[in-house]
C-alpha cells in the first residue's frame, strides 16, 4: 500500500475510520470523506502526526456533485486514485408497513447511489492505475432482513451493481471487491432511521459481541492485496449465505426468529 492513494467514504467512524487507519499504517495516502468535517479533521490530525499524507473532503455521498468534487479534489491533490472504498452507509429499523417511504428513499440514495456516484467519477482513474473498487455491503445483501427492507434492498442493489461492474471490466486490469462484514460493532445502528426517519439513538444489539471494525479493515486490506472478488466475514454471515442457497425457506424462519430477539423488534 506504500504511496497508494485511497479514498474512504464514511471515514468519520466505525469501519470507515478503521479502514483509514489501516491504510495509513501500511503507507498509503488517505482521502477522508464524510459529512462530519469535525470528526474527519480530528482523524486527519492523528494520521498526519504519524506521517500519513491525508486529505479531508466534506462529502454527502447521496449528492452526485459532492462525489464528483471528492474525486476531483483527490486527483488535484495526489494526481491519481488507486483504491476507492465505498463504505458510507445508513441503516433503518422499522416494519415496512409502518415506515415512511422517505426512509427507504434515503437509504437507497446513500447506500446504493452513493456507491454509484463515487465509482462513476473515480473509475477512469482506477482504470489507469489498475486499482480496486471496494463496496462495503452486508449479509443483508444476500438475505432480506425483517425490519430492514430499505437496507436490504440497497445492499442487494449494491451487490448487483458491483458484480456487473466487475464482469464489465474483467479484461481491463482492475479489481472489484465486495465486502460483507455481517454484524459489526459500529455507530450504524445508533443512527439507524426509525419509521419516521429519525435516528433511533441506540443499538438494539449487544455491540460487544460483534466483530470489531479494526478486524474488518484488516480483512479488507488483505483481500485487496490478493485481488479477491468477495469476502463474507463472521461465522454467522458465512453460514447464512451458504444455508440460504440450500434451505431458503428454513433460513427465512430462522432469520425472523433471530431478528425478533432484538429489543423492541418492530415486527
Main-chain dihedrals φ then ψ at residue 209, nearest 5 degrees: -90, 0
Count up the domains in the chain and report the number. Answer: 1
175 inside domain: yes
- Domain membership of residue 266 (yes or no) is no
- Please list the ranges in the chain whose pLDDT falls under 70: 186-189, 201-208
| Bridge partner list, 83 | 6, 132
* 59 located within any domain: yes
Does residue 217 form part of some domain? yes
DSSP character string of 124-182: HHHHHHT-EEEEE--GGGTS--TT-HHHHHHHHHHHHHHHHHHHHTTTTT-EEEEEE--
Identify the residue whose cell numbers are 498509503.
28
DSSP state, residue 262? S
pTM: 0.92
CATH of the domain at 54: 3.40.50.720
**Structure confidence at residue 194 (pLDDT):** 94
pLDDT at position 207 is 61
Distance CA 208, CA 183 (A): 11
The boundaries of the domain holding residue 129 are 5-259
What is the predicted pLDDT for the residue at 187?
65
Coil, helix or strand at residue 121: helix
C-alpha cell at 251: 433460513
The answer to whether residue 200 sits within a structural domain is: yes
Q: Does residue 265 fall inside a structural domain?
A: no
Q: Tell me what pLDDT residue 245 has.
A: 95
Residues with a catalytic annotation lie at 151
Within-domain flag for 115:
yes
Q: Is residue 213 part of a domain?
A: yes
Amino acid at each position: 500500500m506504500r504511496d497508494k492513494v485511497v479514498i474512504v467514504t464514511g471515514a468519520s467512524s466505525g469501519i470507515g475510520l478503521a479502514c483509514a487507519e489501516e491504510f495509513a499504517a501500511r503507507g498509503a495516502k488517505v482521502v477522508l470523506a464524510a459529512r462530519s468535517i469535525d470528526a474527519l479533521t480530528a482523524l486527519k490530525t492523528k494520521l498526519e502526526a504519524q506521517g500519513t499524507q491525508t486529505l479531508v473532503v466534506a462529502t454527502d455521498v447521496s449528492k452526485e456533485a459532492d462525489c464528483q468534487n471528492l474525486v476531483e479534489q483527490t486527483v488535484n491533490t495526489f494526481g491519481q486514485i488507486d483504491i476507492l472504498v465505498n463504505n458510507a452507509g445508513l441503516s433503518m429499523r422499522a416494519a415496512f408497513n409502518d415506515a415512511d417511504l422517505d426512509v427507504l428513499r434515503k437509504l437507497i440514495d446513500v447506500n446504493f447511489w452513493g456507491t454509484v456516484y463515487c465509482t462513476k467519477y473515480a473509475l477512469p482513474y482506477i482504470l489507469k492505475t489498475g486499482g480496486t473498487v471496494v463496496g462495503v455491503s452486508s449479509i443483508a445483501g444476500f438475505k432480506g432482513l425483517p425490519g430492514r427492507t430499505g437496507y436490504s434492498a440497497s445492499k442487494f442493489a449494491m451487490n448487483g451493481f458491483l458484480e456487473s461492474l466487475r464482469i464489465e471490466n474483467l479484461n481491463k486490469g482492475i479489481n472489484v471487491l465486495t465486502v460483507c462484514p455481517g454484524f459489526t460493532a459500529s455507530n450504524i445502528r445508533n443512527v439507524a432511521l426509525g419509521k419516521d426517519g429519525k435516528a433511533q439513538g441506540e443499538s438494539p444489539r449487544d455491540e460487544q459481541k460483534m466483530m470489531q471494525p479494526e478486524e474488518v479493515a484488516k480483512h479488507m486490506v488483505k483481500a485487496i492485496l490478493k485481488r479477491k472478488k468477495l469476502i463474507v466475514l463472521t461465522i454467522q454471515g458465512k453460514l447464512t449465505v451458504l444455508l440460504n442457497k440450500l434451505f431458503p425457506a428454513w433460513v427465512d424462519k430462522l432469520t425472523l426468529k433471530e431478528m425478533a430477539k432484538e429489543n423492541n423488534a418492530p415486527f
